[in-house]
Amino acid sequence: MKQLRFWTRFGIINLVLLLSLTLSANEKTLRRAERLFAQGRFKESLVLFKRLVKKTPRNEIYLFNLANNLFELGRTKSGIKVLQKISKLNGSLAPMANYQLARTFEAQEKRRIAQKYYSRVDARNLSSEMQSQYRQDYANLVFDMAAIEYKRKNFIEASKLFEHSLDLTETSDTLFMLGLTDFKLNKPQRARSRFERVIEIANDQDLVRNAEKLLDRIRTGSWREEPYWVVLDSSVGYNDNIFREGN
């Protein structure tokens, strides 16, 4: 399984705010654990993070550091349990814990569980950079789920999911797939607006050409022709892995 390193893009967030000139015993232990972690001495830092959590089991900072350490050691299941505890505490670090849980389950291709944790993230409590990435990651997950439903011919569910993905982030791919889904649901006029928007914003010229062809077929009333649909459905350039049964 692909090892997820959640914080490599954003950097390890410094969660320790020292408001006193004197360090408590726990603060000294935390400082030492962080130094060991930064040096890649994860087994040694793990011992110290566990000690801190044992002393203060509801401290989100200690728990988050422990979870991150467990992930670095490849102990994904244990890391998930710690993040779920932070999520249930519903404190200031819950949004980041939920985001990391979503990314972890998505990497494991457990998309429904990932969606649950994405939906729990209060993006207002994320940094501006992380908010943007969160919305893109969430939109990509929902798009993949929609594409699976489309392939299974569950077009009503596919439409709902594509709409959700579009609400998170507008992309030409999502608009195009919504247009195809509208056709499948016998709503060509709604599809028309999708394809017109694709032509406005798409950089992919193949996508633009397909959208133009579909608009021509709406105008001539020939959009129902099945041979064309067989070719078009098979040519949609998305990774076939997202269409695997059982996802």
So what's the pLDDT on residue 56? 92
The model's pLDDT over 57-69, given as tens digits with 9 standing for 90+, comes to 999 999 999 999 9
How far apart are the C-alpha atoms of 247 and 242, rounded to whole Å?
Answer: 8
Q: What is the pLDDT of residue 219?
A: 87
Other Cβ atoms closer than 10 A to 67: 28
- The interaxial angle of helices 128-151 and 94-107, nearest 10 deg, is 40
Residue partners of 124: CB distance under 8 A and separation at least 6: none
Which residues of the chain, if any, have pLDDT below 70? 1-23, 223-247
What's the pLDDT at 225? 62
For 135, phi and psi rounded to 5 degrees?
-65, -40
37-42 long-range Cβ contacts below 8 angstroms, 24+ apart: 37/12, 37/65, 37/68, 37/69, 37/72, 38/12, 42/69, 42/72, 42/73
Dist CA 171 CA 178 (whole Å): 11
Q: Please tell me whether the overall predicted TM-score, pTM, comes out greater than 0.75 for this model.
A: yes
Please report the pLDDT score of residue 117 as a whole number. Answer: 97
- Tell me, what's the pLDDT at 229? 47
Nearest to 211 by CA among 159, 162, 170, 176: 176
Q: Cβ(130)–Cβ(10) under 8 Å?
A: yes
Residue 31 belongs to what H/E stretch? Answer: helix 25-38
**Cβ proximity of 134 and 164 under 8 Å:** no
